[in-house]
Structure 1
């Protein structure tokens, strides 16, 4: 792959990620939004009662709509 092609691909990925990032919540944002502790978050995720996170490298993010649906229960 040529250098110019890599730049275009990276730029396209960045645009997609930025658009989707508006709907993603970090661990800290998820804790605040759901009003739960970190321990409760991990226990509920492991038990399957809280939405599963998406791993992006070393980071975990949750989808905002799934958190909102969980909060409605």
Structure 2
């Protein structure tokens, strides 16, 4: 029978893994060996993309179709963008504007 409230017992841990008691998640030792760039990669959803770039959904999808904007990755039925790709696109737009003004 499951309890409706969290248990006060620490989460079970398996050999070679550490337990974060605050979040109750297991972290494998191999996870610590990941590179810094891999840790900083995040997948973001469309509302976050729209907030970052400041343009509308229709414009984003038109730019994806024409190859001007990074394509999303499909995870099951969800479209997710790699945040660093969107940030690089923003940087490119800013740099292009700087070159035009100079």
User: TM-score, normalized by length of structure 1?
Assistant: 0.68
Query: 1:5-63: CA deviations, max 9, x gaps?
Result: xxxxxx9xxxx8xx97x611101111111111000110000000000100011100000
Residue 60 in structure 1 maps to residue 79 in structure 2: yes
Unaligned ranges ≥5, structure 2: 1-25, 32-37, 93-102
How do 1:10-25 and structure 2 match up within 5 A? 23-25=42-44
* Higher Rg: 2
Give the structure, 1 or 2, with the largest relative contact order (CA under 8 Å, sep 6 or more): 1
Residue 29 in structure 1 maps to residue 48 in structure 2: yes
Aligned position for 1:3 = none
- The runs of 4+ residues in structure 1 deviating greater than 6 Å are none
What root-mean-square deviation, in Å, do the aligned CA atoms of Structure 1 and Structure 2 show? Answer: 2.3
